[in-house]
């Protein structure tokens, strides 16, 4: 079990962990801290159900239900936890200091190498609808969508998308709702990965590539072909 899997399981059902998750927690200090934070906030999480669900979130959950068989059966349960984790993100809002958005995006990608080798929800229409719900109108295609996943992120839940541009560049796009960046953009380089985060839609988005050149090109492509509302 990796950190992403652990966090997903912890968020889906904070009170019941599998043996694998318990084993991961005892080996991984970062996930122990994450679990402690979730546990401490149980009462606040309960209160969070009273927080109005942001516009677009319910639509996103319905969208996933409608798509039916293309999704795994566990996603029904995850959909419920999305509401919870989203509300959790809102409660944490006030505590948010300056965040290293681009670096966090790179760390997310580094923890999920399978996103580059597996095809998942590779559906251009679903991608268009997810972007629309997040607040981005596609003016033209970004290329071929290869992988889409709703992932746990520090702020709650975000979409993790891998696509291939018409020039054959492999790029990751991460959509994080509920957080406003103060800066116009933020850039980071970690372990050969390059990321650029920008405010957009319901929060911010980050583009991640494996070379500085392709980062500039893919960033320009996204800015050209997606019009962000809000």
Footprint of Zn ion (CB under 5 A): 3, 28, 31, 112, 151, 160
Question: Please, what is the minimum distance in Å from the beta carbon of residue 155 to Zn ion?
Answer: 13
Cβ-based nearer residue to Zn ion, 105 or 142: 105
In angstroms, give the least distance from the CB of 66 to Zn ion: 23
β 170-177/186-190 pair status? unpaired
* Closer residue to Zn ion in complex, CB, 9/186: 9
**Minimum CB distance to Zn ion smaller for 3 or for 91:** 3
Shortest distance, CB of residue 109 to Zn ion, whole angstroms?
Answer: 7
| Bridge partner list, 209 | 194
Which residue, 10 or 198, is less far from Zn ion as judged by CB?
10
The residue among 153, 2, 3, 161 whose CA lies nearest residue 92 is 153
Which is nearer to Zn ion, 28 or 138 (by Cβ)? Answer: 28
The secondary structure of the chain in percent helix, strand, coil, rounded to multiples of 5, reads 50, 25, 30
Report the nearest approach of Zn ion to the CB of residue 175 (Å).
11
Distance from C-alpha of 193 to C-alpha of 20, rounded to nearest angstrom: 30
* Nearest-approach distance from CB 1 to Zn ion, in angstroms: 8
Starting at the edge strand found earlier in the chain, the sheet holding 170-177 runs: 144-153, 156-164, 170-177, 203-209, 193-200, 186-190
The distance of closest approach from Cβ of residue 32 to Zn ion in the complex, given in angstroms and rounded to an integer, is: 8
d(CA 114, CA 117): 5
Which residue, 40 or 213, is less far from Zn ion as judged by CB?
A: 40
Closer to Zn ion by Cβ: residue 28 or 75: 28
H-type helices in the chain, by residue range?
Answer: 3-12, 19-27, 29-40, 42-48, 57-66, 75-92, 101-110, 124-134, 212-225
Question: Whole-angstrom Cα distance, residue 73 to residue 60?
Answer: 16
Cβ at position 108, least distance to Zn ion in Å: 5
Query: What whole-number distance in Å separates Cα of residue 52 and Cα of residue 39?
Result: 22
């Amino acid at each position: 079990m990796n950190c992403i899997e652990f966090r997903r399981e912890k968020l889906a059902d904070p009170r019941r962990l599998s043996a694998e998750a318990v084993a991961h927690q005892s080996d991984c200090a970062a996930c122990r801290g994450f679990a402690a934070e979730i546990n401490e906030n149980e009462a606040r999480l309960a209160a969070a159900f009273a927080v109005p669900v942001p516009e677009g979130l319910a639509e996103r959950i319905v969208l996933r239900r409608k798509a039916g068989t293309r999704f795994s059966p566990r996603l029904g349960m995850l959909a419920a936890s999305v509401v919870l984790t989203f509300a959790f993100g809102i409660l944490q809002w006030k505590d948010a200091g300056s965040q290293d958005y681009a670096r966090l995006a790179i760390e997310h990608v580094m923890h999920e190498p399978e996103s580059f080798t597996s095809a998942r929800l590779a559906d251009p229409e679903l991608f268009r609808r997810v972007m629309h719900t997040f607040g981005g109108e596609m003016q033209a295609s970004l290329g071929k969508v290869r992988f889409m996943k709703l992932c746990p992120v520090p702020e709650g839940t975000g979409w993790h998308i891998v696509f291939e541009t018409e020039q054959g560049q492999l790029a990751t796009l991460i959509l994080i709702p509920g957080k406003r960046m103060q800066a116009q953009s933020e850039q980071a380089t970690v372990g050969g990965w390059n990321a650029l985060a920008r405010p957009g839609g319901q929060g911010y988005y980050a583009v991640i590539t494996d070379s500085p050149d392709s980062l500039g090109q893919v960033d320009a492509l996204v800015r050209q072909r997606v019009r962000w509302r809000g």
